[in-house]
Amino acid sequence: MKQERRREARDLNYFWEMLSMAQKFSVSELQRFGYELSFVRQQEQQRVAVLKAGPKMASIDEDGQINTAPKVFLRD
């Protein structure tokens, strides 16, 4: 049986506090184009912010680099 890792909905402040200063700046920039912070994922030694704008997605690495075509796999 697969254990569900998402036990409770997190508010966006929880994810915002996980971001580096560079990520916060980049999130603010993408928000101008309709993107919203969805979650933060730990990948290896880095935290990656994932944002959505309708069907579009973007990711931001810890250095604040924006990727508007990320390879993000979402769980059901």
Domain positions in the chain? 12-67
Dihedral of the alpha carbons of 8, 47, 53, 3, in degrees to the nearest 10: -30
What phi-psi label fits residue 6: left (phi over 0), alpha (psi between -120 and 50 degrees) or beta?
beta
- Is residue 60 within 8 A of residue 49, CB to CB? The reply is yes
**Mean pLDDT across 57-70:** 96
Q: How many CB atoms lie under 10 A from the CB of residue 69?
A: 9
- Is residue 27 within 8 A of residue 37, CB to CB? The reply is yes
Taking only the tens place, the pLDDT of each residue in 13-60 is 889 999 999 999 999 999 999 999 999 988 788 899 999 999 999 999
pTM greater than the 0.85 cutoff: no
